[in-house]
Structure 1
Amino acid sequence: MVRIALCQITSTAVPSDNLALVRDAVARAAAEGAAVAVFPEATMASFGTSLAPLAEPVDGPWATAVASIAVEHDMLVVAGMFTPSPDGRVFNTLLATGRGQHLGYDKIHLFDAFGFAESRTVAAGSDLALVSVDDVTMGLATCYDVRFPELFTRLADRGATVMLMGASWGAGPGKREQWELLVRARALDSTSWLVACGQADPAVAGVEVHPKAPTGIGYSTVASPAGVVVGQLGAGPDVLVVDVDVAQVEKTRESIPVLANRRL
C-alpha cells in the first residue's frame, strides 16, 4: 500500500509563487501521511507564459527548492517544470525528487492538437523514466502522453505498477469526458494504477491565464488497474489523498492478462 496525494493547483506565470503552492500542498499531504505528492504539468509556470526565459535545469534553483521540500517531509514530489533544450526551445519536464531520487522525465508526445502547437516552443523527449517508493516502481507521464497507450504498456514492461501523470488539460466541449475516458483506458491498457493530477480550472481560482493555452480543467483522477475511478477532485484547487493497493495489480494482471497476451 502506498499513500499518494494529488495536489491540484492553478499555477501562475511566477515560479516563486508556484513554489509556495508546492510547499503548502506538500505540507498538507505529509500531514495526511502521504509518501508521494503529485502536482500538475506546468507547476513551475503556467502555459501561455514565455517559457524559455524561465527554464532551468533539474539542478537549478527551482528544482533544488522542490527537492528541499521533499527532503523536509521525506516524500517523493512530482511536479511539472521546464528545462532548457539545446535548440533554444524548452523541454516539458516532469521533475521527480525525494526519497534519494532526483530526475526529470521530458515529455515525449507534444500537444500539437486542438489548434495549439506545443512543439513551437517545446522540444520532445525520448526516454522513459521510472522512480520507486517503498519498493514500488512507478512510471512517469505527462498530459498528452495519455493518448498513446504504448508509453504506458512499455512502462509496465519495465516493472511499473503505478503511473504518475501530471497534466494541464485544455478546456473545451467534451474534453472532461475525454480526460476521464483516457485515464481509465490507460490504466486498463497497462493494468496499473494511474494517478493523474491536472491543473485546477483557473476560473475557479480567479487566476488570469492566456485564453488559448491549455491551462487546466481540474478533475484529477485516480484509476485502478481495472479502470475503476477510485478518487477524483472537482474543478478547483484541492488535495486528494488515496491509498493505492499495489497488490491489486498482480490480481488484475492474472484475471485480465492483456500484457502477457499481446502479439504485436
Structure 2
Amino acid sequence: MKIAVVQTASTHDKAANRDAVTRLVAEAARDQPDLVVLPEAMMADFASEGGSVGDLAEPLDGEFVSTLRKSALEHGTAIVAGMFERSCDEARPYNTLLAVGADGELLGAYRKIHLYDAFGYRESDQLTAGDVAPVVVKVAGQKFGLMTCYDLRFPELSRALVDAGAGVLVVPAAWVRGPLKEHHWTTLLTARAIENTCYVAAAAQNGKKYCGLSQVIDPQGIPVVSVGEADGLATADISADRLADVRKRNPSLQNRRYTVTPR
C-alpha cells in the first residue's frame, strides 16, 4: 500500500486551510495513495502564547471534517488530519486527529493525550487533554496507530498502539523550531520505528514556526522518503512482508520482559 505525507503550514484563516486541504489531497492523489497524512492543526494554526483557539474549534460534523470527507470520497483515499474539536470547556477544545476512510466515513478520532507543556510553552492553557487510550484505525487491511507531535516523546504510547495491532504509527505534528529541536524530531521518529519494529509516517507543519522534515521511516529505522523544509509531499510504499520480515529477524517485541498498561 502507499502512504503520502504532506508538509505545509496552516494559518488562522479556516476557509483558506480548507481550500489547501482540497488542493493538497488532490495533488497527493496523483500517486494513488491509500492514505494521505496531513499535519497537526491543519484546520487552524495554534494561537500565540496567551491566546485561545476556542473560537476556532468545530464539532466532528463541522466544515473541516466535511471537507476531509468530501476529498476522501472524491479521490478514493483515506485521510488523517489535525483539528481543534469542541470540548465541554469552550475555551479549551481538544487537539484532535481525524481519520476518514476512502468512502468518506469517519474511521476514528484521537484526542491528543500529552499536551506540549515544555520548552517555555503551555499547550494545556489552550487545550484539553484526551482520554488515555490508544486509537488504532484500519486502512486497506493495515492497522494505523494515531499519535500527535509531543506524544512522540512518550514511548509508552507508541508501544500501546503497537500492542493494539498497529504496524504503522501516524504522527501529524507542528514541531516547533528551536535549538536541537530538529535533531530531537528526527531522532525520536527513528527510535519509535526501531524499538517497535514498525513504520512511522510523520507529516509536519513548516514555515517560520515549525521545522517541517516530514518523512516515512521503515521498521529498521531507514527513511523511505522525506521532505525538507519547504512545502511538499512524499509518497512511500508500505510492505506487510517487510514488516513481517523485520519482526522475524528482530523479535524484540516478543523478547521484552515489561509490558505497558495505559493508566
- TM-score band by shorter chain is over 0.9
Shift of 1:230: 1.6
Whole-angstrom distance in 2 between the partners of 1:41 and 1:108 = 14
Match of 1:222 in 2: 216
Match of 2:122 in 1: 117
Match of 2:96 in 1: 93
Confirm or deny that 1:178 pairs with 2:184.
yes
2:218 maps to amino acid = S
Match of 1:212 in 2: none
Whole-angstrom distance in 1 between the partners of 2:32 and 2:67 = 21
SS at match of 2:182: helix
1:22 maps to amino acid = V
Whole-angstrom distance in 1 between the partners of 2:15 and 2:195 = 38
Match of 1:76 in 2: 78
Whole-angstrom distance in 2 between the partners of 1:178 and 1:218 = 13
Q: Is the 8 A contact 1:152 1:189 kept in 2?
A: no
Match of 1:105 in 2: 110
Shift of 1:246: 2.3
Whole-angstrom distance in 1 between the partners of 2:102 and 2:71 = 11
TM-score (normalised: structure 2)? 0.92
Whole-angstrom distance in 2 between the partners of 1:181 and 1:99 = 32
Confirm or deny that 1:191 pairs with 2:193.
no
Alpha-carbon displacement from aligned partner over 1:209-236 (angstroms, at most 9, x marks no partner)? xxxxxx4111102111111112110101
Q: Is the 8 A contact 2:36 2:80 kept in 1?
A: yes
Whole-angstrom distance in 2 between the partners of 1:253 and 1:53 = 46
Match of 2:20 in 1: 21
Match of 1:209 in 2: none
Match of 2:43 in 1: 44
1:12 maps to amino acid = T
TM-score (normalised: structure 1)? 0.92
Whole-angstrom distance in 2 between the partners of 1:34 and 1:15 = 25
Q: Is the 8 A contact 2:29 2:75 kept in 1?
A: yes
Identity %: 40
Whole-angstrom distance in 1 between the partners of 2:63 and 2:11 = 18
Whole-angstrom distance in 2 between the partners of 1:98 and 1:250 = 25
Confirm or deny that 1:237 pairs with 2:231.
yes
Q: Is the 8 A contact 2:22 2:67 kept in 1?
A: no
Alpha-carbon displacement from aligned partner over 1:143-174 (angstroms, at most 9, x marks no partner)? 00111111111111111101111000011111
Alpha-carbon displacement from aligned partner over 1:217-263 (angstroms, at most 9, x marks no partner)? 11102111111112110101101111111221111111211211121
Alpha-carbon displacement from aligned partner over 1:101-132 (angstroms, at most 9, x marks no partner)? 41311011111000000011111112321111
Whole-angstrom distance in 1 between the partners of 2:46 and 2:205 = 11
Whole-angstrom distance in 2 between the partners of 1:106 and 1:189 = 24
**Residue correspondences, number:** 251
Confirm or deny that 1:63 pairs with 2:65.
yes
SS at match of 1:77: strand
